[in-house]
Amino acid sequence: MFTSEAVPFAKTGGLADVSGALPLELAARGHRCIVVMPAYRHIYKAGIDIRPTDIGFAVQVSGRAVAARLLKAEVPNSSVEFYFVDQPHYFDRQGIYNEISGDYRDNCERFSFFCAAAAQAVECLGIDVDIAHVHDWPTALIPAYVATQHGGHRWYQRAATVITIHNLAYQGRFHSSDYHWTGMDWKYFNYRQMEYYGDLNLMKTGLVFADRLTTVSHTYAKEIQTAENGFGLDGVLRERADRLTGIVNGVDYHIWDPAKDPHLPKTYDVHSWRDGKAECRRQLSDELGIPFEPHLPLIGLVGRLADQKGWDLVIPLMHKWVHHYPAQWVILGTGDARYHESLGYLASQAGHRLALRLEFSDRLAHRIEAASDIFLMPSRFEPCGLNQLYSLKYGTPPVVHAVGGLVDTVTHASAENLAARSATGFVFHHYSVEALEHCLHQACEVFRHQPDTWKQIVETGMQQDWSWLRSAREYESVYSQAISDRQQRT
């Protein structure tokens, strides 16, 4: 598994949750799994012993030799081995891809280096690789290296490659003057392989060269093959549609389970959620400085402050609601400066109706999932989404826009679904403030006036199983297909 982020070492979003949890599940099922990722500055904060190995080597980066050293960690109760490529010039920085001032300007160089170094690391470790599984654009060069035998490593002869698209909006698109960092022959810089309208496109490179492609929900797998949602790569994806599979992410219930969550002041399960959530809310209200008003629905949001997440619906709606609608809000997020500003302004107007934290805090994310009554996730598009899955488990019915993984995982509280006892949340279809308002209003009304229906929705969601076991089995079958594709190629 080659990845640019993995829980518990480095995380900006759901990609890290997947790259951290899937190998653990696969290892528990008897596979030998090795994860290779960069040695960022903050990996040491995970509280896991990370030790140097005696493996060091020089990586050719555009004709220059750059030193790399391998570090190693083992996570408790698992056979998964984590290796970190250490090169302080590239990775000893405050951020992973960017800082508040924007993306690192040398990202193409940094992640090309990482891919070449990771490939060399596997060579040094002498592992017989069946599957090289890469994630998104930062590691997408590896399938190209394997397919073209670039670097000539022995393990390329055997390995089949799989790329998972976590978010097609981020493609690793760079000016052609960056192409030399990849180390690939210029003959691959053409519109059917690595070029995209004159630029280098690393995501496209992975999609073209990998044996198999996956993405993180069934609906997103279909959406990205359309011009509206394909971010310009829908043609490539349609061409490879027979190799593309949607697999909904799982949840790591060792980390996200209100019955044993160490971040919560009171743990709870499907039998004790009323008391548990009330106590979590009381403590969160104290901590964040808002009054404890349990008769009002507490609406929670946790997520990146990026256009994708629907803030252009949430902020206007909140301006309308904070003074007039009987609800409280809690928001945790960090990201684009303009959303920091507009949410900051909103908070200055909203008084005790809104608690806002503009930071990244795992602990608060857990506490908000538990304390809230309703979890809001009105994403414009959403490949899979994990927060809505966490909120199901935490007894916090989600209100979501009908896209991608949100459609695949949340069942709307329609009369029919309630009668079938399958409803788990509230879904709106048209991406507009009005549609969101209508849907959120419905959720708040059920919360306030129909306690039995609310109980049914909460408990149906809490009893669902979105664990990694199901997803891991689906990945295994994709791996088998990739291996047979690979054998046919040689």
Under the rule (CB under 6 A), what is the footprint of ligand ADP? 13-14, 17, 302-304, 332-334, 360-362, 365, 384-387
Residue 200 or 389 having the CB closest to ligand ADP: 389
Residue 90 or 375 having the CB closest to ligand ADP: 375
57 CB-near residues (< 8 Å, 6+ apart): 67, 68, 117, 120, 121, 124
Residue 334 or 450 having the CB closest to ligand ADP: 334
Token match 């309703």: residue? 374
DSSP code of residue 160: E
Output the smallest distance, CB 434 to ligand ADP, in A: 25
DSSP code of residue 77: T
Output the smallest distance, CB 302 to ligand ADP, in A: 5
Residue 17 or 86 having the CB closest to ligand ADP: 17
Residue 34 or 168 having the CB closest to ligand ADP: 168
Taking a C-beta distance cutoff of 8 angstroms, is the pair 23, 36 a contact? no
Taking a C-beta distance cutoff of 8 angstroms, is the pair 377, 401 a contact? yes
Q: At what angle do helices 433-449 and 451-463 cross, to 10 degrees?
A: 110
Taking a C-beta distance cutoff of 8 angstroms, is the pair 159, 130 a contact? yes
Residue 189 or 360 having the CB closest to ligand ADP: 360
Output the smallest distance, CB 87 to ligand ADP, in A: 26
Q: Which helix (H) or strand (E) holds 3?
A: none
Residue 53 or 334 having the CB closest to ligand ADP: 334
Residue 210 or 389 having the CB closest to ligand ADP: 389
Residue 182 or 388 having the CB closest to ligand ADP: 388
For residue 375, CA distances in Å to 88, 390, 404, 473 come to 39, 10, 17, 29
For residue 460, CA distances in Å to 271, 395, 417 come to 12, 9, 11
Q: Which helix (H) or strand (E) holds 419?
A: helix 415-419
Q: For the chain, give the number of residues.
A: 490
Taking a C-beta distance cutoff of 8 angstroms, is the pair 252, 20 a contact? yes
| Closest to 216 measured CA to CA, from 386, 341, 340 | 386
Output the smallest distance, CB 414 to ligand ADP, in A: 24
Output the smallest distance, CB 357 to ligand ADP, in A: 8
Tokens of 95: 């951020």
Cα gap 356→359, rounded to integer Å: 9
Output the smallest distance, CB 204 to ligand ADP, in A: 20
Token match 């619906």: residue? 313
Output the smallest distance, CB 216 to ligand ADP, in A: 8
Cα gap 201→196, rounded to integer Å: 6
What letter represents residue 362's amino acid?
D
Residue 183 or 405 having the CB closest to ligand ADP: 405
Output the smallest distance, CB 384 to ligand ADP, in A: 6
Angle value at C-alpha 299, between 337 and 327, nearest 5 degrees: 110
Residue 66 or 288 having the CB closest to ligand ADP: 288
For CA atoms 21, 299, 273, 361, give the dihedral sign.
positive
Residue in the shown chain whose Cβ atom is closest to ligand ADP: 14
Output the smallest distance, CB 252 to ligand ADP, in A: 10
DSSP code of residue 59: E
Residue 13 or 316 having the CB closest to ligand ADP: 13
Cα gap 113→201, rounded to integer Å: 16
Output the smallest distance, CB 117 to ligand ADP, in A: 25
Output the smallest distance, CB 218 to ligand ADP, in A: 16
Output the smallest distance, CB 386 to ligand ADP, in A: 4
For residue 369, CA distances in Å to 239, 331, 431 come to 40, 11, 24
